[in-house]
Amino acid sequence: MSIWGIVVASLYLVFNQGRALRSNFVISSQVGLFLIFLLVGGYIVGCVFTLPTVQTVAVILMVPGLVLAIFGPFVCQTLIGPILYFLLIILLQDNYFFSPELMVSLAAILFFLLLKNQRNQKIKTTVHAGSLDRPLWIYQNSRWLVPTAIIFGFFMTGPWLGDNIRHFYPPTERMAVLRAPLGSHGWIGPSVVTANTWVPFFPTASATLKTRYLLEENMTENEIELYTAYFNSDRNAAELFEPSNTIYDQHLWKKISSATLQIDVGDNKAATILEVVLTTATTNRVVWYWYYVAGVVTNDPLLVNMLDTVRVVSKEAAGSGVVVLSSPYGDSPAEARLHLSSFVKAMYGSLEVLRRPEIDYVRTTQRGK
């Protein structure tokens, strides 16, 4: 019975207010449009930070905001009573926000106040001939269509942004753990590095990892050392390229040559990597390395800046970092390049886990996460 009572009361207000609306001037309102913009922004903030009360209030207030933006202040003034009534009815669907008993009581009181007000007043309308056949809104041309289209855009993009903007967790509440992938296709690892003669240095990185892999055919010679440094997604990618970060210790190693290579990474794919050949009094090494931002491998500074800008609205937004591979050689760097090429073809896809460690968030204080 309560449902039928709400339906009948709602229909009565709809048809009864139709007579009052005949004399209203319909015009789009920029104030209402700005109100919708603020409400959509509030809804997005509520989604990002998991604030259900803020989301509910924003959605409810969109009803009067729509009326004000599309039909103008005159129509909104006429419909303010019924709008408040329908807002109370909407809240009946959300037990989290208010109790249903309170909403029904307030809606009933408001409904009877509207009836009393209508009995005490005589609505005087002046209707010109032919106006019943032509509603007032047809004389507004496109003035109502433009704000309506803008509002439609807000409504379509708002939920998507709320769902896709990453959560800005403080570093103390998040820990990105780097885990080296298991060796495959003849490569065994990861294993502990026993000698630290070659160690890249990224002192400000959020997380680092150093390990090694051995080729099963000849475990005494064919060795690949892997180093990676990762910067959390709440940090600027420019920190990755600070002067204090280096691929090798310049006091210990001497650079013989450097180059940019196009290498085969398997599955008919290629990747651009950087190479540097190093030497000391006792050993030589070939180092291959590449940078990445938001999981995308690139060595182009312009692309790095662009990815660092747009990754904020990426649902799987990740930070930036570097992956470094190194192999020793005896007589010629070609020996090390052969080992590195074999390792990259076998393990390049598995190294993807190093570029997105924040998928495994450890959240300790954020409720509901």
Q: What is the pLDDT of residue 361?
A: 46
Asked if 12 and 159 sit in the same domain, the reply is yes
Q: What is the pLDDT of residue 258?
A: 93
Asked if 88 and 154 sit in the same domain, the reply is yes
Query: Residues 113-136: pLDDT tens digits?
Result: 666 665 555 444 444 434 445 555
Q: Is residue 47 part of a domain?
A: yes
Residue pair 355/318 in contact (Cβ under 8 Å)? The answer is: yes
106-130 burial, b if ≥16 CB within 10 A, otherwise e?
bbeebbeebeeeeeeeeeeeeeeee
Beta strands in 243-301 (DSSP E): 254-266, 269-279, 284-293, 296-297
Asked whether the whole model's pTM tops 0.75, one would answer: no
**338: its two tokens:** 């052969």
Q: What is the pLDDT of residue 366?
A: 41
CA distances for 205 relative to 233, 238, 246, angstroms: 11, 12, 12
Asked if 193 and 297 sit in the same domain, the reply is yes
Q: Is residue 113 part of a domain?
A: yes
Asked if 353 and 216 sit in the same domain, the reply is yes
Angle (CA) 177-179-184 rounded to 5° is 165
Q: Is residue 108 part of a domain?
A: yes
Final residue belonging to a domain, choices 164, 197, 213: 164
Asked if 113 and 184 sit in the same domain, the reply is no
Asked if 151 and 208 sit in the same domain, the reply is no
CA distance 112 to 118: 10
Asked if 155 and 197 sit in the same domain, the reply is no
Asked if 211 and 144 sit in the same domain, the reply is no
Residue linked to tokens 């269509």? 145
Distance of CA 30 to the CA centre of its chain: 29
Final residue belonging to a domain, choices 112, 130, 164: 164
Domain of 333 in residue numbering reads as: 171-360
Asked if 227 and 302 sit in the same domain, the reply is yes
Q: Is residue 258 part of a domain?
A: yes
Ranges of residues in the chain with a pLDDT under 50 are 122-132, 137, 170-172, 360-369
Number of Cβ atoms within 10 Å of the Cβ of 59? 16
Q: Is residue 325 part of a domain?
A: yes
Q: Is residue 367 part of a domain?
A: no
Q: What is the pLDDT of residue 330?
A: 86
Number of folded domains in the chain?
A: 2
Amino acid (1-letter code) at residue 31:
V
**2: its two tokens:** 């309560």
Asked if 186 and 160 sit in the same domain, the reply is no
Q: What is the pLDDT of residue 211?
A: 93
Asked if 131 and 274 sit in the same domain, the reply is no
Find out whether the peptide bond into 190 is cis, omega within 30 degrees of 0. yes
Asked if 192 and 228 sit in the same domain, the reply is yes
Distance of CA 211 to the CA centre of its chain: 32
Q: Is residue 366 part of a domain?
A: no
Residue linked to tokens 């990747």? 271
Final residue belonging to a domain, choices 132, 164, 196: 164
Q: What is the pLDDT of residue 130?
A: 44
Q: Is residue 97 part of a domain?
A: yes
